[in-house]
Structure 1
């Protein structure tokens, strides 16, 4: 029996509420994206934003809205309590997830702007991937002017605040776009773990700025207890992660452009199939050898 939700059981109502919650979750994601280090530029703007008296209340307020709405949704769902609590905890810990799921809606459905609740599954995943393919290629191409600005500006980029801010905001847009795409795609995928493994480079693009931010934040908190050299190494490590992030974006761009060419994409898929068939043949040979050893009578 198929586990794919039927359209007859589609969640109904609450379109305005879920649309507003999508906006709240996206606002939280954008606010976080602005303070993450996506490169070697924009430090002055990030520090100003973090120190701004309205930053923490804004972030906390958006987070609070997601939590309160999730608590209310626990009592308006026809799903099991285990499923409701699981979705509530996920959205409470990772507020951007509220863009695609809710504690008040059953498992196997996700929210799409303009389309409402849609069933997760292979068919929906393929349709969504086709719709997002071209916009994501265009978005990923933005890394090229960013690289150009950083290569031409070099260490003096921060001496040109407008260019540094533009570079930072562009990388923020790229990061937000990748995060939103990943949330939609992983929620729509029938096998979420398999999707994460197949698209590990997307996870790297999303997680590297978070790791760099936590590293530098920890260094600042311990600045009074550690030597300045360790803080400097933290900045250098962040620079290394920034370069890795650029490399991951370029790798992703090549892969996406490769998929846009059907002939090359088919050739690549055929090669993958051949490799998998060779591995399968080798595995079967090993299995036959192992079975043969089992069936052989023990030697006297």
Structure 2
């Protein structure tokens, strides 16, 4: 049975990785095109693509459930949140992740550092694209509002930025050991990712209960807050490129590792002492038994 589980892992790795990436692309399109006052056919395409891709995640979960895979519960999670499938670990050990070009790689500190570096420069460029995009939206506001094509293009550009941030966060949170600590340090990224989704669900609910005008007032407020978070993210990305700050962060990491090493040494010393005492007791017991027999 383990052989079949490994074969399914090998066969599904690439198709499911790209399916999850495309699913995230279409989610980005749906979230941001829904903010357009008169969404066109592009929004319908995104919704239909999501509808067609989703059964793949259900099918994979059913297969692993039928095979009794050790990590089949994670596939149920991927059915709830398909983009998390991007960095699914192997079913047998849970220590390896599949990436394009790299193929299967064991998650180690070196691998985490490599992935983080590969995201660093592209994400800084994408973050800087926020500024000209906002400038276009500000100076060409009337033209964008009067042209559905321009409105769709600006929404898709914003969606692309959201997609990049979400992809990076999904990958990094999947390979990090201290995930809560990572979320705490990257709370701006988390806010940038979650705000459009919360606003979409809220607007959807309001659209069913109240007038359309109130929905668009909410969308306008959310868009302003979202832009502020993106600008804050740009500043944060630039500051993190500062080598002095990088050294300070590495010093903190080094101090944590040194404390862990000291803790391991202390535990080893305690166990060694415990073994020595036990060995001494075992050596004394035969001698005491021999003296007792002679006395008897």
Asked if Structure 1 and Structure 2 have the same fold, meaning a TM-score greater than 0.5 normalized by the shorter chain, the answer is yes
> Are 2:58 and 1:67 equivalent residues in the alignment?
yes
Distance in 1, matches of 2:77 and 2:119, equals 24
What pairs with 1:160-171 in structure 2 (closer than 5 Å)?
Answer: 160-171=147-158
Report if aligned partners of 2:60, 2:75 keep a CA contact under 8 Å in 1: no
Name 1:276's counterpart in structure 2.
none
Residues 155-164 or 200-209, more deviating: 155-164
Report if aligned partners of 1:216, 1:238 keep a CA contact under 8 Å in 2: yes
Matched residue count: 248
Deviation at 1:207, TM superposition (A): 0.8
> Are 2:84 and 1:84 equivalent residues in the alignment?
no
Distance in 2, matches of 1:39 and 1:61, equals 19
**Structure (1 or 2) with the larger CA radius of gyration:** 2
Distance in 1, matches of 2:8 and 2:246, equals 41
CA RMSD of aligned residues (A): 2.8
Name 1:33's counterpart in structure 2.
28
> Are 2:182 and 1:195 equivalent residues in the alignment?
yes
Deviation at 1:251, TM superposition (A): 1.3
Deviation at 1:183, TM superposition (A): 0.8
Name 1:286's counterpart in structure 2.
none
Distance 1:168 1:103, change over 3 A: same
Name 2:273's counterpart in structure 1.
none
Residues 209-218 or 15-24, more deviating: 15-24
What is the TM-score when the length of structure 1 is the normalising length?
0.73
Report if aligned partners of 2:26, 2:47 keep a CA contact under 8 Å in 1: no
Distance in 2, matches of 1:217 and 1:44, equals 15
What is the TM-score when the length of structure 2 is the normalising length?
0.74
Distance in 1, matches of 2:171 and 2:127, equals 17
Name 2:196's counterpart in structure 1.
209
Report if aligned partners of 1:19, 1:113 keep a CA contact under 8 Å in 2: yes
Match of 2:217 among 213, 220, 236: 236
Q: Which runs of 5+ in 1 are unaligned?
A: 1-10, 274-300
Distance in 1, matches of 2:222 and 2:195, equals 6
Distance in 2, matches of 1:174 and 1:118, equals 27
Distance 1:16 1:135, change over 3 A: farther
> Are 2:106 and 1:110 equivalent residues in the alignment?
no
Distance in 1, matches of 2:238 and 2:155, equals 24
Deviation at 1:68, TM superposition (A): 0.5
Distance in 1, matches of 2:7 and 2:111, equals 19
Q: Which runs of 5+ in 2 are unaligned?
A: 1-5, 253-296
Distance in 2, matches of 1:245 and 1:238, equals 10
